[in-house]
């Protein structure tokens, strides 16, 4: 069916193909890591420019406008959502059905409040 040299050539070609795929995958992962690093550095630079953070004695400290940082506002908003709509989440004991019920109730209440707010407009 196949000669020995054909089998060997096919095997070498497939190995080269796999190596090329691995190289592309590694390159893509490195590029993604670099982009993530750049994004984080830009967040830090913006926070420093906007006086949200300061560097003192090689430590990061709150700046005078710390509360104005977008990340702080997002964190505060997510805490508000959890306290308002998932207030029993801290009591979660590993029961999947209970968690599902909590999430469904929270989402139902959130949608109800959203619909009420839209009716007022």
Residues 88 and 107 in one domain: yes
Residues 9 and 61 in one domain: yes
Give yes or no: residues 19 and 57 share one domain: yes
77 and 35 in one domain?
no
Q: Is the dihedral of CA 17, 20, 26, 27 positive or negative?
A: negative
Evaluate whether 86 touches 103 at the Cβ level (below 8 Å): yes
The boundaries of the domain holding residue 40 are 1-68
Q: d(Cα 121, Cα 113) in Å, to the nearest integer? A: 13
Tell whether 62 and 99 lie within a shared domain.
no
What integer best gives the mean pLDDT of the chain?
90
- One domain for residues 94 and 106: yes
- Check residue 104 and give its pLDDT: 92
Same domain, residue pair 74 and 17: no
Q: What is the pLDDT of residues 17-40, one digit of tens each?
A: 999 999 999 999 999 999 999 999
Give the end-to-end CA distance of the chain in Å, rounded to a whole number: 77
pLDDT digits (tens, 9 = 90+) for 63-109: 999 999 999 999 999 999 988 988 877 777 888 888 888 889 999 99
44 & 56 share domain: yes
- Looking at the structure of the chain, the number of domains it has is 2
CA dihedral 113, 115, 120, 121 (to 10 degrees): 120
Distance CA 80, CA 88 (A): 13
- Supply the pTM of this predicted model: 0.60
Q: Are residues 64 and 77 in the same domain?
A: no
């Amino acid at each position: 069916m196949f000669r020995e040299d054909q089998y060997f050539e096919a095997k070498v070609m497939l190995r080269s193909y796999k190596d090329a795929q691995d190289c592309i995958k590694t390159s893509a992962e490195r590029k993604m890591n670099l982009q993530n690093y750049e994004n984080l550095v830009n967040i830090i630079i913006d926070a420093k420019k906007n006086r949200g953070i300061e560097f003192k004695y090689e430590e990061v400290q709150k700046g005078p406008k710390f509360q104005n940082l977008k990340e702080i506002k997002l964190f505060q908003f997510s805490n508000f959502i959890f306290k308002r709509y998932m207030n029993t989440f801290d009591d979660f004991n590993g029961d999947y059905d209970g968690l599902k019920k909590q999430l469904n109730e929270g989402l139902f209440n959130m949608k109800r409040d959203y619909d009420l707010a839209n009716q007022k407009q």
